[in-house]
Amino acid sequence: MEDYVYILDYLAKGRGDSPPHKRHPVVYGIGENQFTLLELVPRNDASFNIGERIYVGKDGEKRKKIIKIKGRVNFEELTATAHGEMPYIILDIVQNTKERFIKFYNEAPAISTRFHVLELLPGLGKKMMHDILAERKKNPFTDFTEMCDRINFLRAPDKLIAKRIELELTDPNQKYRLFTRPPISKGHY
């Protein structure tokens, strides 16, 4: 389960596509750990900023802005605002938890004899993959800037990760899920 969520959208008066008698305040967020898309029930006195990191874990004392997690949602159920903000917030999460993703670059395994996990990153081909593998054998990477310095033509390895996460969240038919949970089936949380 997610302990921290980044706010994608806040609808103080509820969704406009719901009947007036069923409208209630709603918050959409993306989890920091597994990039779980969530619908949250806010406290009456709470206000939210898009991109804000809030606690939603089990400790009720620390949960200041959210009453409860209503449940998981799929990408299609999010608002247009949430869709627009998601790429930026995913990149923020990747940059704020970069140690996890540097470790991914240092330890990513082969899927088969002809296919490597690194090739699943959009825009990263076989040549770049071989360069990354060769460099990490010499010395593990310590941050994204150092990766760019050591590997010719590699730009923004954090954005490659963010693009992969976005692809996994927006395309329910992805065979491989490196960073996200599978989408939910309708009616199941």
Task: Please report, for the domain that includes residue 149, its CATH number.
Answer: 1.10.150.280
Provide CB contacts within 8 A for 65, sequence distance 6+.
42, 43, 46, 48, 54
The answer to the question of residue 177 being in a domain is no
The answer to the question of residue 185 being in a domain is no
Please tell me the distance from the alpha carbon of residue 85 to that of residue 90, in angstroms, as a whole number.
9
Q: Provide the CATH number for the domain around residue 55.
A: 2.40.50.140
**How many domains, in total, are found in the chain?**
2
Mean pLDDT for each 10-residue chunk of the chain (189 residues)? 94 87 92 96 94 93 92 95 97 97 96 94 93 96 95 94 97 93 69
Kindly report the CA angle at 35 between 14 and 180, in degrees rounded to 5? 130
Q: Give the relative orientation of helices 80-96 and 157-170 as an angle to the nearest 10 degrees.
A: 140
Q: Are residues 72 and 105 in the same domain?
A: no
The answer to the question of residue 187 being in a domain is no
Domain encompassing residue 26: 4-79
Q: Are residues 102 and 38 in the same domain?
A: no
* pTM (2 d.p.): 0.92
Specify the pLDDT at position 188.
Answer: 45
Specify the pLDDT at position 111.
Answer: 93
The answer to the question of residue 182 being in a domain is no
CA distances to 2, 3, 54, 134, 141 from 137, rounded to whole Å, are 33, 34, 38, 5, 10
The answer to the question of residue 180 being in a domain is no
Q: Which amino acid is at 13?
A: K
